[in-house]
Amino acid sequence: MRAILIGPPGSGKGTQAQFIMERFEIPQISTGDMLRQHVSEKTPMGTQVKIIMDSGKLVPDDIIIKMVQERIKKPDCSKGFLLDGFPRTVKQAEALAMAGVQIDKVIEIDVPDDEIVKRLSGRWTHPASGRVYHTTFQPPNRAHHDDVTGEPLIQRDDDKEETVRKRLAVYHTQTAPIVGYYQRLSLRDPQGLPNVIKINGQEPPLVVCEEIFRFLA
């Protein structure tokens, strides 16, 4: 089973990825992790990547595709894999297909923008300990203050509403169209692959998980 999990930031992809990995015994392949590993191990590809990243440029798709191809040949991918953070654009999805990487399942976790903003912009953090609170779901005893130390909480830039909405705009423009690409691909494929499903991410995590499991079974 070779699957891709798609959804906006704050949709619960990380939680569902863990459920999928444990249930189906497949690895989660993170392109970010692969890049960091190649750089840290100073492989020939890692040396090339480091030069590109140090110059402030994006790592080209062909290098990412090559890393994915190498990764999925490893023994732990014998039962399949779950792609995380790639592809991010239709162009990358097309490059993946051109490289012969077959995708069987595409799961889109759908959550309205206003709900995402509510989830993310309500988060406040105690910087010293890393404790996280939420104004709606897990409020501190005293507004904007840590329960343990009483120290002020901060809101990370990534969690501010303006930033969240910008991230959502990028998702809708660049990543969400991938779903349509795979739907069109399935219509042309003799076996109807990949299978594509949209799941309501506003349901409780375990309900979402059960629906994903039924789809992947």
pLDDT tens column, 114-156: 999 999 999 999 999 999 999 999 999 999 999 999 999 999 9
Domain presence at residue 163: no
Identify the active-site residue in 42, 156, 166, 184: 156
Angle between helices 61-71 and 31-41 (to 10 degrees): 90
Cβ distance 14 to 205 under 8 Å? no
Q: From the centroid of its chain, how far is CA 20? A: 13
Nearest alpha-carbon partner for 86 in 17, 48, 131, 31: 31
Residue 47 belongs to some domain of the structure: no
Domain contains 70:
no
The answer to whether the predicted template modeling score (pTM) of the entire model surpasses 0.85 is yes
Per-residue confidence (pLDDT) for residue 151, from 0 to 100: 97
Catalytic residue among 2, 13, 105, 119: 13
2 catalytically annotated = no
Whether 83 maps to a domain, the answer reads yes
CA–CA dist 30, 215 (Å, integer):
22
- Is 36 among the catalytic positions? no
Catalytic residue among 50, 160, 165, 167: 167
Active site residue 13: yes
* Secondary structure letter of residue 141 according to DSSP: S
| Domain count for the chain | 1
**What distance in Å separates the CA atoms of residue 95 and residue 63, rounded to the nearest whole number?**
11
In a domain, 128, yes or no: no
| Alpha carbon distance 132, 134 (integer Å) | 7
Q: Are strands 2-6 and 81-84 parallel, antiparallel or unpaired?
A: parallel
88 counts as catalytic: yes
Which CATH number is 86's domain given? 3.40.50.300
Instruction: Answer yes or no: is 92 within a domain.
Output: yes
Residue 88 lies in a domain: yes
Expressed as residue numbers, the domain containing 204 is 2-26+79-111+175-216
**120, 9 contact by CB (below 8 A):** yes
Annotation says 142 is catalytic: no
> What pLDDT was estimated at residue 6?
96
| Chain segment 52-106, per-residue pLDDT in tens | 988 888 889 889 998 999 899 999 999 999 998 899 999 999 999 999 999 999 9
In a domain, 72, yes or no: no
Q: Residue 155 corresponds to which amino acid?
A: Q
127: which 2 tokens? 């910087």
Q: Which among 36, 50, 88, 160 is annotated as catalytic?
A: 88
Catalytic residue, candidates 2, 71, 119, 123: 123
Left, alpha or beta for 57 (phi > 0: left; psi -120 to 50: alpha)? beta
Could you tell me the CA-to-CA distances from 161 to 13, 97, 113, 156, 202 in Å, in that order? 20, 36, 11, 10, 19
